[in-house]
Amino acid sequence: MLNIGPYEFHSRLVLGTGKYENFEIMKKSLEASGTDLVTVAIRRIDLNAPKGEGLLDFIDPGKFSLLPNTAGCFNIEDAILTAKLAREALKTNLIKLEVIGDKFSLWPDMEQTIEAARILIEDGFVVMPYCGPDPVGARKLQEIGCHAVMPLASPIGSGLGIQDKETLSIVRKAINNVPMIVDAGVGTASDAAVAMELGADGVLMNTAIAEAKKPIQMAEAMKHSIIAGKLAFDAGRMPRKFAADPSSPTEGVPGS
Amino acid sequence: MKIKVNGKIVTFEGGTVNQLLRDLKISPDFVAVALNREIVHRHERDCIELKEGDALEFVKAAPGG
């Protein structure tokens, strides 16, 4: 169970809906992943093609909750307008807050993210901010009342995996009241498992599945990796040793 | 009169937000509207009369992560 504000989700995997070859593959990938929370962007309607099958026709509202994002916003005003439009369009107060500070790396602007989060919380949103792997910034987001904190593992869409495990562990220790969801950078199943083994409460991903050769199969792999990583974290890993420690008895070896 | 819809200049005979939605053949479900960067709630769409130079945003969910 993943609890975010007043909401409860069965899966610890949050999936994006971007970059799929088509909506049918997306739909099957969502189902194979076991997720029940999916992210969507908010974009202008194409006035030349206002009709036709849309994204929401392929997302069963009985199975999935929608998590709209403010992707593409570079300032507080645009992020807040996008969040309000999302709430109006999708009738949800969940928002994945992104305020980007750098086009090349899509690195979040923490100063503006914190201020935007403050305004949205005041307005009744359940705010899940995308942030850097920064324990001080993450703690501030928790302190102002964010309902989850979502540090990146590596740049959005890069598939580079967990670039700095130690720092992500420090962020984990800094966040104790709300879920930490690793958002962005996962490339394959082991990355998701590592994120969970570091103590993440969940992982949000998109490209790792959408750009896999077999997205539906990768979605299923991710489902298992999240479960395995969480079980392993809860089980408590053995201490690391810097010499071998035989598993078989050293006494009674035949012929010795 | 001329108004701006999603960044483009559009000629409109005049009327409410809902009339403009109908003119543009936009299905009103799952669509959000902002008028001059302020949200127009669903129940207001039949009441608000548009004026020359108004800037509207009509948005919906799109694929994204």
Q: Which residue has the higher pLDDT, A50 or A92?
A: A92
Q: Give the Cα separation of A144 and A229 in Å (integer).
A: 29
Q: Considering the domain boundaries, does residue B65 fall inside one?
A: no
Establish if B51 belongs to a structural domain: yes
Query: Helix, strand or coil for residue A218?
Result: helix
Known catalytic residues of A?
96
Question: What residue segments make up the domains of chain A, in order of their start?
Answer: 10-45+53-234
Number of domains in chain B: 1
**Minimal Cα–Cα distance from A246 to chain B, Å?**
46
Q: How high is the pLDDT of residue B54? A: 96
User: If you measure CA to CA, which chain A residue comes closest to B36?
Assistant: A81
Burial (Cβ within 10 Å: 0-12, 13-18, ≥19) of residue A229: buried
Query: What range does the domain containing B41 cover?
Result: 2-59
Percent of chain A at pLDDT above 90?
Answer: 95
**A135-186 pLDDT tens trace:** 999 999 999 999 999 999 999 999 999 999 999 999 999 999 999 999 999 9
Among residues B13, B5, B2, the alpha carbon closest in space to that of B56 is found at B5
- Considering the domain A10-45+53-234 in this protein, what is its CATH number? 3.20.20.70
Residue whose C-alpha is closest to residue A35's, from A7, A12, A55:
A12
pLDDT tens digits for range A18-64: 999 999 999 999 999 999 999 999 999 988 876 667 899 999 999 99
Q: What is the pLDDT along chain B (65 residues), one digit of tens a residue?
A: 999 999 999 999 999 999 999 999 888 888 999 999 999 999 999 999 999 999 999 999 999 99
The residue in chain B having the minimum alpha-carbon distance to the alpha carbon of residue A14 is B65
* B27 neighbourhood in chain A, CB within 8 Å: 50-51
Quote the pLDDT of residue A53.
72
What does the pLDDT read at residue A96? 98
What CATH number should be reported for the domain holding residue B32?
3.10.20.30
Please choose, from the candidates A153, A243, A155, A246, the residue with its C-alpha nearest in 3D space to the C-alpha of residue A198.
Answer: A153
Looking at the domain assignment, is residue B42 inside a domain?
A: yes
Of the partner residues A20, A40, A47, the one whose CB lies closest to the CB of residue B62: A40
Global confidence as pTM = 0.92
- With CB atoms and an 8 Å threshold, state whether A45 touches B26: yes
Q: For residue B35, is it within any domain?
A: yes
Task: Name every chain A residue with its beta carbon within 8 A of the beta carbon of B6.
Answer: 44-45, 47
